[in-house]
């Protein structure tokens, strides 16, 4: 009887273990990261869908140094003809050993993980994720990126285990009120 119970319990655990294995991603941040070079305006080229940006177009993020050494984060875009923005704050919890891992808060003291996963030498494009597989962004200093650059970033995301079919390609030239499109 004990072996039957153990077998039933094992059978119940296997799907959960398989699911957990398929959701693992390599979210190791880049080693070389200069926060000062990262400051400024970034255009959101693509993202995974999530509630706080759903149906937004012309999305941008700006990172600005604060007097206290932390970073102001201003995310903005258009949704259904209305301009939306969110102002938050970012900090580097371990700038010496893990400079490309940030913590970002848009509400009180609730922080989210922000990891720069890929970055070109000139800080013109970036792949950003979090501690899990549910958030992913492609950012650029320009509203559009070259197809070869886009493909290289998507390949890196796939190599890291992200399901890139979930990417929503943001319309950066949208007339106010148009929606994001899938590519």
The domain ranges of the chain are 35-169
Instruction: Say what the pLDDT of residue 23 is.
Output: 61
Sequential DSSP letters for the chain: -HHHHHHHHHHHHHHHHHHHHHT----PPPS---HHHH-EEEEEEEEE--GGGTT-EEEEEEEEE-TTS-EEEEEEEEETTEEEEEEEEEE-S-TTT-TTEEEEEEETTEEEEEEEEEE-TTSSEEEEE-SSTT-EEEEESSSS--HHHHHHHHHHHHHTT--GGGEEE--TTPPTTPPPB--
Superfamily name with CATH number, domain 35-169: Calycin beta-barrel core domain (2.40.128.20)
Per residue of the chain (183 residues), what is the pLDDT tens digit? 444 333 333 444 444 433 444 568 999 999 999 999 999 999 999 999 999 899 999 999 999 999 988 899 999 999 999 999 999 999 988 888 899 999 899 988 888 899 999 999 999 999 999 999 999 999 999 999 999 999 999 999 999 999 999 999 999 998 764 444 444
Instruction: Say what the pLDDT of residue 101 is.
Output: 94
């Amino acid at each position: 009887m004990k072996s039957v119970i153990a077998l039933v319990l094992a059978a119940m655990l296997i799907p959960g273990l398989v699911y957990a294995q398929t959701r693992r991603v390599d979210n190791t941040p880049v080693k070389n990261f200069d926060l000062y070079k990262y400051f400024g305006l970034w255009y959101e080229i693509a993202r995974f869908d999530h509630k706080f940006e759903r149906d937004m177009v012309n999305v941008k993020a700006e990172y600005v140094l604060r007097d206290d050494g932390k970073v102001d984060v201003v995310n903005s875009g258009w949704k259904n003809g209305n301009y939306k923005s969110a102002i938050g704050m970012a900090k580097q919890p371990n700038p010496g050993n893990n400079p490309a891992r940030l913590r970002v808060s848009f509400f009180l003291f609730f922080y989210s993980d922000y990891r720069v996963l890929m970055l070109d030498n000139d800080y013109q494009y970036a792949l950003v994720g979090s501690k899990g597989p549910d958030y992913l962004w492609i950012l650029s200093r320009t509203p559009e990126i070259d197809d070869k650059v886009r493909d290289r970033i998507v390949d890196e995301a796939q190599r890291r285990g992200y399901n890139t079919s979930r990417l929503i390609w943001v319309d950066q030239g949208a007339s106010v009120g148009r929606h994001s499109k899938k590519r």
